[in-house]
Amino acid sequence: MRIAICDNLKSERQKAIEALNSVIKNFSVNEFDNGSELLESHALHPYDLIILDILMPKINGIDTAVSLRKNDTKTPIIFMSTSEEFGVQSYRVLAFDYLLKPIDKDQLKACMKRLLSQREKKKQYITVTYSGVETNILLSNIQCLESNLRKVIFTLSENREIKIIGKLTDFEQFLLKHGFCRCHKSYLVNIEHIDRIDDNMFYLTGGKTIKISRTYLQSAKKAYFDYIFTAEV
């Protein structure tokens, strides 16, 4: 795993590296003391994980993440900060986690376990019958499922769609255990593909908007925020 650590203080970067050494193996680290250099390096050779301080001179961590997310919505970002005040802003740039300094090794360990579990999810798939042929669809490629009469519409990456005969309940039990949430009687959404939430709407990374019904509003929001911030696997 290639990891980038960006903090204007070398001592803080070293603490983060020491914490990583105590919880994972087989990784390499590139250090940066400002967000601009990190962005340039990531554009040339993307990292598997970015650990990013928030309070930095010139360009702060949130603004760095905003710039990165213009072209990259996938690379996990873990924010580090001495303050909790930027927590809400962090989820708007799809932060994977938000850790307070000094870094707690148990929290970092739980965070990394969750990250590795998510990476493993990218290999998981669901089998459907499409045009008479059994077809495997990677879960990571599914943005959402929509029920339409007696058919289920799968919206995939790059907004491709496939329609199969069936109903959402055929897939719900399995998908709810693998990073999906029910937000409407007609929709199951892959939380990984949610770009942001605004009141009662999910905005997906592909540009699709999905209304969260009153019935599922509380549970859908909880699933979304738990996915982003929960420190347990």
pTM of this prediction?
0.57
Q: Which of 58, 92, 121 is the last residue of a domain?
A: 121
Average pLDDT over residues 54-62: 92
Confidence band for 83, pLDDT divided at 50, 70 and 90: confident
pLDDT tens column, 104-123: 888 888 888 878 877 776 67
Q: Are 78 and 139 in the same domain?
A: no
pLDDT tens column, 150-195: 999 999 988 899 999 999 999 999 999 888 999 999 999 999 889 8
Q: Are 116 and 141 in the same domain?
A: no
Q: Are 102 and 134 in the same domain?
A: no
67 or 196, greater pLDDT: 67
Q: Which of 93, 121, 149 is the last residue of a domain?
A: 121
Give residue 68's pLDDT: 95
Give residue 180's pLDDT: 93
Q: Are 167 and 91 in the same domain?
A: no
In a 10 Å sphere around its CB, with 0-12 CB exposed, 13-18 middle and 19+ buried, how is residue 190 labelled? buried
Q: Which domain holds residue 8?
A: 2-121
Q: Are 6 and 105 in the same domain?
A: yes
Q: Are 112 and 141 in the same domain?
A: no
